[in-house]
Amino acid sequence: MFHKEGQTIILTTFFLVGACILITQFYLDIPWLRMTIQFLAIAILILTLQFFRNPQRIPIKSFDEILAPVDGKVVVIEEVLETEYFNDTRTQVSIFMSPINVHVTRYPISGKVRYSKYHPGKYLVAWHPKSSLENERTTVVINTPKFGDILYRQIAGAAARRIVNYAEEGENVQQGDDAGFIKFGSRVDLLLPLNVAIAVKLNQKVVGAKTCIATLIKDRDHDA
């Protein structure tokens, strides 16, 4: 299954690849060059389909866990001063998506959207320290029963040129549901309360709507 944000690009790529194969088949008389061009065209189609794939995932919904919003690798776990919404210190967990990862953004937890804002900006590489504040991005805050407000940011990278965000202020959202897409893009930051137990490590690969990112410390202590 493919994400709806890729439908136009997939259809356009399929048409261009088909046209390229037919034209080279009938009008190019150099066999090795014809086969090379056709191979590259098919490779481009496969990469496009790979990028816009949208595997269906049904999470075990829980107010006690914050799940990964995207597929990728954890590249940052640190305390930072968040100045756009909270104006206080939060625990930041950043997930980097490579071109081969699924780029669907999913709601990390159920709750009510309190804040949703798009910011135009630069296209620094996603691992640049200033990308969270200077790149094109969207910021979404969800109010939850146990964690209070949590924030996530979709951040465009050097190759990304469009962020799609479905979150609207005032709506109730469900953990694991489709929250948007980053076309050819690259990073999502979670800004969490300090009273959480981070359940992932640096460089760990995570799966959207599956991998637990954090739980409440008091819940962990109670279970112990």
**pLDDT tens-digit profile of 46-59?**
888 877 888 888 88
Considering the candidates 94, 110, 132, 186, report the single residue annotated as catalytic. Answer: 186
How much is the pLDDT for 118?
93
Q: Which residue has the higher pLDDT, 9 or 196?
A: 196
Instruction: For residues 174 and 60, give the distance between their C-alpha atoms in angstroms, rounded to a whole number.
Output: 11
Are 206 and 73 contacting, i.e. CB atoms less than 8 angstroms apart?
Answer: yes
Query: What mean pLDDT, rounded, does the chain reach?
Result: 87
131 catalytic residue (yes or no): no
Question: What is the pTM (predicted TM-score) of this model?
Answer: 0.82
Q: How does pLDDT run across 149-168, given as a tens digit for each residue?
A: 999 999 886 555 578 899 99
- In this predicted model, what pLDDT tens digit does every residue of 106-124 receive, in sequence order? 999 999 999 999 988 765 5
**pLDDT above 70 coverage of the chain, percent:** 87
> Is residue 112 within 8 Å of residue 172, measured between CB atoms?
yes
- Starting at the edge strand found earlier in the chain, the sheet holding 178-183 runs 104-106, 178-183, 162-165
CATH number of this structure's domain 65-223, picked from the four choices 3.40.50.1100, 3.40.50.620, 2.60.120.10, 2.70.70.10: 2.70.70.10
pLDDT at 4: 78
